[in-house]
Amino acid sequence: MRLGAQVSVSGGLFNAFKNAKEIGADSMMFYTRSNRQWKAKPISVEDQEKYKATAEEYSAIFPAVVHANYLMNLASPEEDKWAKSYDAMVDEITRTGQVGVNNMVVHPGSHMFKEKKATEQQIIEAEWAGLDRIVKGVKRALDETAETSPDVVICLETMAGQGTNLGFKFEHLGYLIKEIDGGDRVGVCFDTCHVFTAGYDIRTPEAYAETMALFDEKVGLQHIKCFHFNDSKFDLGSRKDRHQHIGKGFLGEQAFANLVNDPRWADHPAHLETPKSEDNEETGESVEMDPVNLAKLRSLITS
């Protein structure tokens, strides 16, 4: 696998490569803009060219993946929020295409139905209504960017199921991909922490094989374009999204050994979203953890 991490682009998008090299990454993931602001400064032609030139200089670091901002919610029932999210989605696709990156990770969205005494049926109806709003937005965004960013693939992320988030059931992702009908321009980002806390076990070779077979049935393994490698601070089915260092959480080392030794993912990028630092218990000094987590993942490779 192409192992890497989410890296900073402070000072310019091109700096992602230097930061990736410093932690020993084979690939990298980054934001092209603030992940928690609606408005973003356009990427100038000069910055686009500088990024592409740096990509050639650091050709050993590939592929790059862009993560879209967190504010977008195409599942929102509020028209203004949906329209704002749609515009942001088009902008994110455009920015990703401008720097020549193919895969763009997107959180599917949240249906926002929070009635305290809601029945299970009402919640299910809210989920599927939210999924249909996502379909509408992604289909339109793909059409609008078909000529400007034809190579950008929207990678819908598997989610933990916190709150009203969608995408925590494999059925959700299968439905989205089928209904969007975007061909090669729609895929999945498989997040280990999210899948696990959503209720799908990957901790043993047997559990991993069963979960991947189920994913293949409900979604299709061919749709997985990239991975997020995160251990979990919470247990199976907790539906909580809290990342932990590799091997230090409820997933444990074997879960990641199952993935890094699976030949189906040999050329796929997998990126850490684990805490960036941790205090040394003996010295109290802060330790940069991306190199530590990458080294742990590589130590698990046996094939």
pLDDT tens-digit series, residues 73-120: 999 999 999 999 999 999 999 999 999 999 999 999 999 998 788 899
Catalytic residue numbers read 36, 67, 70, 107, 157, 191, 194, 228, 241, 243, 273
| Residue 262: pLDDT band with limits 50, 70, 90 | very high
* The predicted structure's pLDDT at residue 296: 98
Average pLDDT of the chain, as a whole number: 96
Taking the CA atoms of residue 191, residue 196, residue 198 and residue 199 in that order, the dihedral angle to the nearest 10 degrees is: 150
Residue 282 has pLDDT above 80, yes or no: no
* The predicted structure's pLDDT at residue 254: 98
Q: Which fold has domain 2-299?
A: TIM Barrel (3.20.20)
CB-CB contact of 57 with 21 (8 Å): no
Q: How many helices and strands, by DSSP H and E, does the chain display?
A: 9, 12
| Residue 280: pLDDT band with limits 50, 70, 90 | confident
Stretch (H or E) spanning 142: helix 120-144
SS3 301: coil
pLDDT tens-digit series, residues 47-85: 999 999 999 999 999 999 999 999 999 999 999 999 999
| Residue 17: pLDDT band with limits 50, 70, 90 | very high
Phi, psi of 257 (to 5 degrees): -65, -40
CB-CB contact of 221 with 276 (8 Å): no
pTM of the model: 0.96
* The predicted structure's pLDDT at residue 18: 98
> From residue 190, how far is each of 28, 32, 45, 112, 168 by CA, in Å?
15, 21, 32, 23, 11
| Residue 13: pLDDT band with limits 50, 70, 90 | very high
> From residue 46, how far is each of 2, 19, 31, 214 by CA, in Å?
29, 20, 18, 46
* The predicted structure's pLDDT at residue 114: 87
* The predicted structure's pLDDT at residue 36: 84
pLDDT tens-digit series, residues 145-172: 999 999 999 999 999 999 999 999 999 9
Residues with Cβ within 8 Å of 40's Cβ and at least 6 positions away in sequence, in order, are 32, 33, 34, 91, 95
Any idea which residue has 């999945």 for tokens? 188
* The predicted structure's pLDDT at residue 281: 72
Stretch (H or E) spanning 224: strand 224-229
Q: What percent of the chain has pLDDT over 90?
A: 92
* The predicted structure's pLDDT at residue 75: 98
pLDDT tens-digit series, residues 196-252: 999 999 999 999 999 999 999 999 999 999 999 999 999 999 999 999 999 999 999
